[in-house]
Amino acid sequence: MGAAHRPSQLLFHNGISEEDYSRLLSSAAALVTLSQAEGYGLPVIEAMSHGTPVIVSDLPIFREVVGEAADTPRRRSPRLLRILPSPYAY
């Protein structure tokens, strides 16, 4: 959180119901997961199933699971740039 320009934009949940999780994904501007090691990438797939843009680390698992459908800090789609226009937005 120390690197966040506006920490109030970050949400952390300690457990959430399936219904609330679905609602949260549907209303999110984007799902950001910049981990250095990842298992399967299920949250990314769940977010994409709700039409939520995703920003992921450039890891083999994410390339395998989402291909070109996700953004990375170096590759930003026009859709994502409309949502997060500032280079400091993520």
- CATH of residue 53: 3.40.50.2000
What pLDDT, on the 0 to 100 scale, is given for residue 34? 80
CA dist., res. 53 & res. 32, Å (int): 9
Kindly tell me if the per-residue pLDDT of 1 is higher than 70: no
Residue 4 falls within a domain, yes or no?
Answer: no
Domain count, the chain: 1
With tokens 């395998």, the residue in question is 64
Give 38-77 pLDDT, tens digit per residue.
677 888 899 999 988 888 888 888 888 888 777 776 766 6
Residue 55 falls within a domain, yes or no?
Answer: yes
Residue 31 falls within a domain, yes or no?
Answer: yes
What's the whole-model pTM score?
A: 0.65
6, 7, 9 from 3: Cα distances, Å? 9, 8, 12
Instruction: List % helix, strand, coil for the chain (3-state, nearest 5).
Output: 40, 10, 55
Residue 29 falls within a domain, yes or no?
Answer: yes
Residue 11 falls within a domain, yes or no?
Answer: no
Residue 27 falls within a domain, yes or no?
Answer: yes
What pLDDT, on the 0 to 100 scale, is given for residue 46? 92
Domain with 72 in it: 16-83
Residue 5 falls within a domain, yes or no?
Answer: no
What pLDDT, on the 0 to 100 scale, is given for residue 90? 45
Kindly tell me if the per-residue pLDDT of 9 is higher than 80: no
Residue 56 falls within a domain, yes or no?
Answer: yes
